Structure 1
């Protein structure tokens, strides 16, 4: 399969990294799933060297772990790690809200509103994309602070939370999540940092510490074939 033709503007390893990362964020590749280099290479039409580079980048972000003599696996966070990640995410996202409430622009508010419109379009229609867009809302907020270090840390935590949510079930409705995003935007528009942080606290707290194992997903080859289709077009 010649899958890299549509992505010649970036290194093949970056393309593979982006696709695998998205598959993890959208919970198509579940925590604990083995990621065989040969299978990934075959599905995406790249060498094992390219695959190793992509997996190495994912490992540096805490999304993949390499086990001695067994290969790479999608990281599988413990409950303790999950609680720690949500704890620090609370702290960092409060800082994001505090900064944005002081100086968010009209263009910034419009961009957030446009993102929530995207969330609305897929709500109840495409669960994996809903999961990804929900996380990207928080990353967009962090990027708007202009602090690249803060944005990078928030992005990593949000992505790792996708792993957590794949293991520990989310019991509240996606409708609630989208509505809370709107409420956050409204509070930021009013420059009401206290209200925005209160909503964010509730928003993040709703998913933390609720253990409910999910059913196993598709096998890794089926998932990779699905994500590789866009590269062949």
Structure 2
């Protein structure tokens, strides 16, 4: 999901996924030579990917200092969650005005995947939880809205990676179920209310507990994201 269509950006896709899945933590250095060797590409290709991720707020690219995974501040965290509330409120209102049958079919299929990997594959569970919200935005048919939600959900992944306290993903799964039920009923007010409650829950679970894990070798981490050549 959300892979770039350009063959020249496999590094971008893989780095982005590793950041969203929290395999690459905020502050981790992203050396161009190591990444290039891992993916078998030039430093120019790596630099292009890093520039793109920098524009999305996922990477901090500094002249003469190289790149690292972006480290959101607490002020940025609150601002991002506030903006996310505005965007996802609009998503709820639009979806409830549409024919909800095909929407609910897609959402329930995604929810089944979330349930399948709950407490089984933490990495995939994290990604699927975020992709639920991006799918909601995509189903509105608005590319602009989907792009904004995609970017802000990705940046929330950084916040969760930096500040999150341990919690069960079941909370989010139950809340997603409630959101789907409200959309299926065409009840915009209830859908907005459930989404508002859900995002506040995500925010409360995310803030504030900086995590200082041991550093892993970036080549070892990214090796899991290399797509074999066909």
The correspondence of residues 1-233 of structure 1 with structure 2, limited to 5 A, is 10-12=6-8, 14-208=9-203, 210-216=207-213, 218-228=216-226, 230-232=227-229
Q: Distance in 1 between matches of 2:167 and 2:69?
A: 25
Change over 3 Å in CA distance of 1:64–1:104 after alignment to 2: farther
Q: Distance in 2 between matches of 1:40 and 1:110?
A: 39
Q: Distance in 2 between matches of 1:16 and 1:159?
A: 17
Change over 3 Å in CA distance of 1:183–1:37 after alignment to 2: same
How much does 1:232 deviate? 4.9
Q: How many equivalent residue pairs? A: 224
Secondary structure at the residue paired with 1:208? Answer: helix
Q: Higher mean Cα deviation, 102-111 or 185-194?
A: 102-111
Q: Distance in 1 between matches of 2:166 and 2:25?
A: 18
Deviations 1:23-81 (A, max 9, x none): 00000000001100000000001011111111111111110111232101110000000
RMSD: 1.6
Secondary structure at the residue paired with 2:68? Answer: strand
Secondary structure at the residue paired with 1:72? Answer: strand
Secondary structure at the residue paired with 1:73? Answer: strand
**In the alignment, is the contact (CA less than 8 A) between 1:29 and 1:74 conserved in 2?**
yes
**In the alignment, is the contact (CA less than 8 A) between 1:101 and 1:193 conserved in 2?**
yes
Q: Which ranges of structure 1 fall in alignment gaps of 5 or more residues?
A: 1-6
Q: Could you state the TM-score of these two structures normalised by the residue count of structure 2? A: 0.93
Q: Could you state the TM-score of these two structures normalised by the residue count of structure 1? A: 0.91
